[in-house]
Amino acid sequence: MERTYIMVKPDGVQRGLVGEIVKRFEQKGFKLAALRLMTPTEEHLKQHYKDLAEKPFFPGLIKYMTSGPVVGMVWVGKGAVTTGRKMLGATNPADSAPGTIRGDFCIEVGMNICHGSDTVENAEAEIALWFPEGVATYEKSEDAWLYEKRN
């Protein structure tokens, strides 16, 4: 089953939007497989955002992302990566449609509340980076969601 890594960034945590974001993913029908409040290290963030290392905004991005705790989550379900990105909205909130998380709750690209994996491959790499101990997974049975520990 497809999985995505969603992270509520420091501004989202500080503004009390964790519950709102969790609610939207739950209501959409995705299943929560992992959730953790954590204060990321600079090293972890440099790995997470390694493709952006040469961008002029990179130092500011690292400063922003280490300004307070974040909430990392793994959501599971059909199309979790693509649909998750649609639910977040465009990177720049000015381009995010109302009804998306960024479209509804922010105005600055440098403080855009949440992260969502952009490909299935990157989602798996990000899940391994942020939850190295492994996360729960779901298997659909006829009448229940069953839980088992992922290796």
Ligand X SMILES: Nc1ncnc2c1ncn2[C@@H]1O[C@H](COP(=O)(O)OP(=O)(O)OP(=O)(O)O)[C@@H](O)[C@H]1O
Q: What's the one-letter identity of residue 49?
A: Y
Q: What's the one-letter identity of residue 71?
A: V
105 close to 9: Cβ distance less than 8 angstroms: no
Q: Which of 64, 115, 117, 137 is catalytic?
A: 115
Is 36 annotated among the ligand-binding residues?
Answer: no
- Whether 115 is catalytic: yes
Q: Least separation, in Å, of the C-beta of 103 and ligand X?
A: 13
150 close to 136: Cβ distance less than 8 angstroms: yes
Where along the sequence are the contacts to ligand X (CB under 6 A)? 52, 57, 61, 91, 109-110, 112, 115-116, 118
Is 4 annotated among the ligand-binding residues?
Answer: no
Q: What's the one-letter identity of residue 76?
A: V
Of residues 28 and 91, the one with the C-beta less far from ligand X: 91
Active site (catalytic) residues: 115
